[in-house]
Amino acid sequence: MTLEPNRAELRSRGTSVAHDEVERFDRIARAWWDPEGDFRPLHRLNPVRVNWIRSAAAHHFGFDAQAERPFEGLKMIDIGCGGGLVTEAMARLGADMIGIDASPESIRVAELHAGKQGLPIRYRRAAPEDLVGERARFDVVLSLEVIEHVADLDSFIAAGAELMRPGGAMILSTINRTLKSLALAKVGAEYVMRWLPVGTHDWRKFVKPSELATGLRRHGLALTDLGGIVYDPLRGNWSLGRDLDVNYMALAV
């Protein structure tokens, strides 16, 4: 029995790339590394995301999360890497990193920034489906704030699962589809606080944890951990918590 992925089956599900989303991110790609620009919320959120990844992955692989480079020897892919905010953080923690994104402008920005930092990250303009069949396999498949932007969630998860090595892990972060997230992550973030350009998110594409678990299970993965990310408007910062109503992170194995 062949273990090679059925690429025709993946194609029949459709590509996960939403071209209107790619065009939107192309237009603002130059702002990726501006901490006060269009991606300001991600800059504020990034340390919290990185800490959760560090803890979850170290626990899964039996590494010391407090080590200076706990991911030394791990091969990771960052799907939908954008300008490389998380990709660079993982590289600094020792991971052998490749970042892919469907936005050519985002990839260009990521390459330039990583080059200036002296980080040996490989970037490609690609969708995860493009890597299926190339025999590329990774210990960790990362995808942060991406699945709420894809055209075909099932195709996206299927490709990500195919890219995982046996015993590997998939780590995702996204936004729950609740009335609270509609008020805060859509209306509040785009129209009231003006943290994000209007139209950045479509609330209908937000994903409930139960829906994510079902999609992962369909492709042989089990959702084993969830963590909420909560914004404190009084302090103006993000922290990890148990509230999954808006932003949350997930570990699947």
State the average pLDDT over residues 211-221: 97
State the average pLDDT over residues 137-141: 98
pLDDT of residue 82: 94
- Within a domain: 125: yes
For the chain, percent of residues with pLDDT exceeding 70: 93
Residue range of the domain that includes 177: 7-252
**CATH code: domain of residue 215:** 3.40.50.150
Q: How does the average pLDDT of the chain come out, rounded?
A: 89
- Within a domain: 1: no
- Within a domain: 2: no
pLDDT of residue 190: 67
Q: What's the domain count of the chain?
A: 1
- Within a domain: 223: yes
**C-alpha to C-alpha distances, 103 to 17, 28, 39, 227, nearest whole angstrom:** 10, 11, 15, 28
pLDDT band at 27 (very low <50, low <70, confident <90, very high): confident
Long-range contacts of 20-27 (CB under 8 A, 24+ apart): 21/149, 21/150, 21/151, 22/102, 22/103, 24/197, 24/199, 24/200, 25/82, 25/103, 25/105, 25/106, 26/103, 26/104, 26/105, 26/106, 27/105
Least confident residue range of 3-7, 11-15, 187-191, 213-217: 3-7
Reply yes or no on whether the pLDDT at 196 is more than 80: no
Alpha-carbon distance 203 to 185, whole Å? Answer: 8
State the average pLDDT over residues 193-211: 85
Per residue in 108-121, pLDDT (tens digit) is 999 999 999 999 99
- Higher pLDDT residue, 85 or 202? 85
Reply yes or no on whether the pLDDT at 6 is more than 80: no
pLDDT of residue 194: 73
State the average pLDDT over residues 127-132: 92
Per residue in 142-185, pLDDT (tens digit) is 999 999 999 899 999 999 999 999 999 999 999 999 999 999 88
- Within a domain: 181: yes
Which tokens is 231 given?
A: 């914004």
Alpha-carbon distance 52 to 56, whole Å? Answer: 6
Residue 96's contacts (CB-CB under 8 Å, 6 or more residues apart) are: 73, 74, 75, 76
pLDDT of residue 187: 84
State the average pLDDT over residues 131-148: 93
State the average pLDDT over residues 217-244: 91
